[in-house]
Structure 1
Amino acid sequence: MGQKRNRAGNNSQNRNERNISNSREVSRRTKGKNRYSFEEDRRTTARYYDDDGYYQTEPKRRKKSASAKNRDDYTKKSKNRSSEYGSKGRKRKRRGRRKNVVSKTIGIILAIIQFVLSVVLTVNVLFFDMLTVTYIMVLAGVLLILLGITLLSQIGAKEKGIGGKIFCILLCIILAMGSFYIGKINNAFQKITGSNTMTSSMVVAVRQDDSAQKLVDTSDYTYGVQYATNADQTKSTVKQIEKEIGNEITVREYAGMIEAAQALLSGEVDALVYNSGQTGIIKDQIPDFENEVRVIYKHSIVVQIENTAADASVTEPFAVYLSGMDTYNDITSGDRSDVNIIAVVNPKSHQILLVTTPRDYYVPIPGISNGQEDKLTHAGIYGIEASMDTLEELYEMDIPFFGRVNFTSMINIVDALGGLDVESDEEFDTGEESGKVVHINEGMNHLNGRETLAFCRERHALADGDNARGRHQQAVITAIIKKMMSPSMLRGASDIIASVSDGVDTNFSMNQIQSLIKTQLRTNAEWNIYSVSAEGVGDKQYCYSSGDALLYVCIPDETSVSNIIDLVNRVEAGDVLEESTVVGQ
Structure 2
Amino acid sequence: MSRRRRRNDWIPGAVITIIVLMLSVVFMGLLAMTKMVPTIYMLIIGIVLVLFTAVIWLLVWHFRHKGRFIAGTILAVLLVAVLALGSFYINKTRDALSGISGVNTEVTQIAVYVRSDDAADSVEATAGYNFGILSSLDRENTDGAVNHLNSQFGTAVQTTEYAGLTELADGLYKNEVGAIILNNAYLDVLEEMDGYADFESKVKQVGTVDVESEIEVNNTSSDGSGDTQTAEPITTSRGGKVYTIYLSGIDTRGEMTAKSRSDVNIIATINTDTREILLVSTPRDYYVPLSISNGAPDKLTHAGIYGIDVCMNTLGMLYDVDINYYFRINFGGFVKVIDALGGITVYSDYDFDSKNITGYHFNQGANYVNGEQALVFSRERYAFQEGDRQRGKNQMAVIKGVVDKALSPEILTSYSSILSSLDGCFGTNITYEEIAQLLQQQLAGGGDWTIVSYSVDGTGATEKPYSMSQKAYVMVPDYSTVDKAKDLMAKVRNGEIVTQDEADGTASTEAN
Cα distance, 1:245 vs. partner?
Answer: 3.4
- Aligned-residue offset at 1:97: 9.3
**Structure 2 counterpart of 1:241:** 149
Can you list the C-alpha shifts for 1:300-337, whole angstroms capped at 9, x where unaligned? 11111236668534623231110111225322211101
Instruction: Quote the residue 1:446 is aligned against.
Output: 368
Task: Check 1:311–1:346 CA distance in 2 against 1; reply closer, same or farther (3 A cut).
Answer: closer
Indicate conservation of the 8 Å contact 1:322/1:404, yes or no: yes
1:118 CA drift (Å):
0.5
8 Å CA contact 2:216–2:309 kept in 1: the answer is no
- Higher-Rg member (1/2): 1
Structure 2: gaps of 5 or more residues: 218-228, 503-512
Q: What letter is aligned with 1:191?
A: G
Residues 423 and 103 of structure 1: CA distance in aligned 2, closer, same or farther (over 3 Å): farther
- Summarize the Cα distance change of 1:101–1:263 in structure 2 as closer, same or farther, 3 Å threshold: farther
Q: 1:226, CA displacement in angstroms? A: 0.2
With over 3 angstroms needed to count, the CA separation of the structure-2 counterparts of 1:162 and 1:316, relative to structure 1, is: closer
What SS does structure 2 have at the residue aligned with 1:502? coil
Q: Are 1:478 and 2:386 matched, yes or no? A: no
Residue of structure 2 equivalent to 1:359:
284
Listed one character per residue, the Cα deviations across residues 5-59 of structure 1 (whole Å, up to 9, x for unaligned) are xxxxxxxxxxxxxxxxxxxxxxxxxxxxxxxxxxxxxxxxxxxxxxxxxxxxxxx
After superposition, residues 86-101 of structure 1 pair within 5 angstroms as none
1:319 to 244, 258, 261: 244
- Output the CA distance in 2 between the equivalents of 1:413 and 1:484: 10
Aligned partner of 2:108 among 189, 194, 200: 200
Amino acid at match of 1:152: L
**What does 1:283-302 correspond to in 2, within 5 Å?**
283-285=191-193, 286-302=196-212
1:391 corresponds to which residue?
315
Partner of 1:561: 482
Structure 1 range deviating more: 181-190 or 223-232: 181-190
> In structure 2, the residue corresponding to 1:398 is in which secondary structure?
coil
Query: What SS is found at the alignment partner of 1:514?
Result: helix
Higher helix share: 1
Q: 2:114, 2:206 within 8 Å by CA — same for their partners in 1?
A: yes
1:108 aligns with 2:30: no
2:30: which partner in 1? 124
> Deviation at 1:223?
1.5
Instruction: Tell me the residue number matched to 1:414.
Output: 338
Instruction: Specify the alignment match of 1:61 in structure 2.
Output: none
Of the candidates 459, 463, 467, which is equivalent to residue 389 of structure 2?
Answer: 467
SS in 1 for 2:288: strand
Deviation string 1:272-301 (CA, Å, 9 cap, x unpaired) is 211111111111012112222221101111
Asked if 2 retains the 8 angstrom alpha-carbon contact of 1:110 and 1:169, the reply is no
| C-alpha contact 2:115 2:179 (8 A) present in aligned 1 | yes
SS of the residue corresponding to residue 268 of structure 1 reads coil
TM-score, with length taken from structure 2: 0.89
Equivalent of residue 92 in structure 2, options 184, 187, 191: 184
| Structure 2 residue corresponding to 1:404, chosen from 325, 328, 331 | 328
The match for 1:65 is none
Q: Provide the C-alpha distance between the structure 2 equivalents of 1:514 and 1:309, rounded to a whole number of angstroms.
A: 21
Q: In terms of mean alpha carbon deviation, does 373-382 or 120-129 score higher? A: 120-129
Change (3 A) 1:482 1:101: farther
Measured in 2, the distance between the counterparts of 1:241 and 1:103 equals 77
Q: Is the contact between residue 453 and residue 500 of structure 2 (CA under 8 Å) also seen in structure 1? A: no
Match in the other structure for 1:304: 214
What is the deviation of 1:392? 1.1
Tell me which residue corresponds to 1:174: 82
CA contact (8 A) 2:252 2:258 kept: no
Picking from 315, 322, 333, the partner of 2:258 is 333
Cα separation, 2, equivalents of 1:251 and 1:306: 30
- From the superposition, tell whether residues 212 and 283 of structure 1 become closer, same or farther in structure 2 (CA, over 3 Å): same
Mapped partners of 1:246, 1:217: distance in 2 = 14
Q: 1:267/1:440 Cα in 2 relative to 1: closer, same or farther (>3 Å)?
A: farther
Distance 1:334 1:501 in 2: 18
1:430 equivalent in structure 2: 354
Paired with 1:102 and 1:437, the residues of 2 have a C-alpha distance of 75
The reply to whether residue 572 of structure 1 matches residue 493 of structure 2 is: yes
8 Å contact kept, 1:215–1:245? no
1:147 matched to 2:72? The reply is: no
**Which 10-residue stretch deviates more, 476-485 or 201-210?**
201-210
CA apart distance, 1:156: 4.4
8 Å CA contact retained: 2:13, 2:62: no
Question: 4+ residue stretches of structure 1 with deviation over 6 A?
Answer: 100-103
Partner Cα distance (1:280, 1:104) in 2: 74
Give the counterpart letter for 2:487 in structure 1: D
Structure 2: distance between partners of 1:113 and 1:444: 52
For 2:444 and 2:206, the matched residues in 1 are separated by: 55
- Alpha carbons 1:328, 1:406 under 8 Å: kept: no
Q: Deviations over 1:381-416 (max 9, x none)?
A: 111111111111111212112111111221221121
User: Could you tell me whether the CA contact under 8 Å between 2:336 and 2:421 is conserved in 1?
Assistant: yes
Match of 2:72 in 1: 164
Secondary structure in 2 matching 1:462? coil
Letter in structure 1 aligned against 2:111: V
For residues 328 and 475 of structure 1, what CA distance do their matches in structure 2 show?
Answer: 26
Confirm whether residue 500 of structure 1 aligns to residue 422 of structure 2.
yes
Matches within 5 A, 1:209-288: 209-285=117-193, 286-288=196-198
Q: Which moved more, 1:155-164 or 1:515-524?
A: 155-164
Cα distance in 1 for residues equivalent to 2:127 and 2:359 = 45
AA matched with 1:120:
V
Superposition pairs of residues 334-349 of structure 1, within 5 angstroms = 334-349=259-274
- Secondary structure of the 2:241 match is coil
- State the distance in 2 between where 1:208 and 1:437 align: 35
* Distance (whole Å) between structure 2 residues aligned to residue 480 and residue 329 of structure 1: 25
CA positional deviation for 1:458:
1.7
Task: Point out where structure 1 has 5 or more consecutive residues left out of the alignment.
Answer: 1-92
**Corresponding letter in the other structure for 1:304:** E
- 2-structure distance, mates of 1:299, 1:103: 70
User: Which residue number corresponds to residue 17 of structure 1?
Assistant: none
Contact 1:196 1:304 in 2 (8 A): yes
* CA distance 1:253–1:119, shift in 2 (3 Å): same
Deviations 1:484-522 (A, max 9, x none): 100122222232223224221212222222222222222
Structure 2: which amino acid aligns with 1:221? Y
Work out the CA distance in 2 between the residues paired with 1:311 and 1:576: 22
Question: Quick check: 2:246–2:265 contact (8 Å CA) kept in 1?
Answer: yes
Matched, 1:377 2:284: no
Cα offset for 1:580?
Answer: 6.6
Q: So what's the TM-score if we normalise by structure 1?
A: 0.78
Q: Residue deviations 1:506-540, cap 9 Å, x none?
A: 12222222222222222213221111101111111
**Which shows bigger deviation, 263-272 or 228-237?**
263-272
- 1:228–1:111 Cα change, 3 Å: same
RMSD, aligned CA: 2.3
